[in-house]
Amino acid sequence: MENIIFSYPTQIENELEIVHGLLMDDDIDFFHLRKPDFDYSQFKKFISLIDSDLHYKIVIHSHYSLSNEFDLGGINLNKKSLSQLAYADEVDKCFIQPLVLNNREIEINRVVPDMVTYSGHTLAEINELSFNVEYAFLSPIFDSISKEGYLSKFNLNEVKTKLMNTKVKVIALGGVRMEDEEMLKDAGFYGMARLGEFWNIEK
Domain boundaries, the chain: 2-73+114-194
Which residues have a Cβ under 8 Å from the Cβ of 88 and sit 6 or more positions away? 100, 101, 102, 103, 107
| C-alpha span between 20 and 56 (Å, rounded) | 12
pLDDT in tens, the chain (203 residues): 999 999 999 999 999 999 999 999 999 999 999 999 999 999 999 999 999 999 999 999 999 999 999 999 999 999 999 988 887 777 665 556 678 999 999 999 889 999 999 999 999 999 999 999 999 999 999 998 888 778 898 999 999 999 999 999 999 999 999 999 999 999 999 999 999 999 986 54
Where helices occur in 10-103 by DSSP H, the ranges are 15-23, 40-48
Q: Looking at the domain 2-73+114-194, which fold is it?
A: TIM Barrel (3.20.20)
Nearest residue to 137 (alpha-carbon basis) of 192, 56, 198? 192
pLDDT at position 157, please?
A: 94
Strands (E), the chain: 2-6, 30-33, 58-60, 74-78, 86-87, 99-102, 105-108, 116-120, 135-138, 170-172, 191-194
Cβ distance 113 to 74 under 8 Å?
Answer: yes
Helices (H), the chain: 15-23, 40-48, 123-127, 156-163, 181-187
Residue 78 CA to residue 84 CA, distance in Å, equals 11
Provide the pLDDT for residue 95: 57
Residue 107 CA, chain-centre distance (Å), reads 17
> What pLDDT score was predicted for residue 147?
80
> What angle (nearest 5°) sits at the alpha carbon of residue 67, between those of residues 64 and 70?
140
Distance CA 110, CA 172 (A): 31
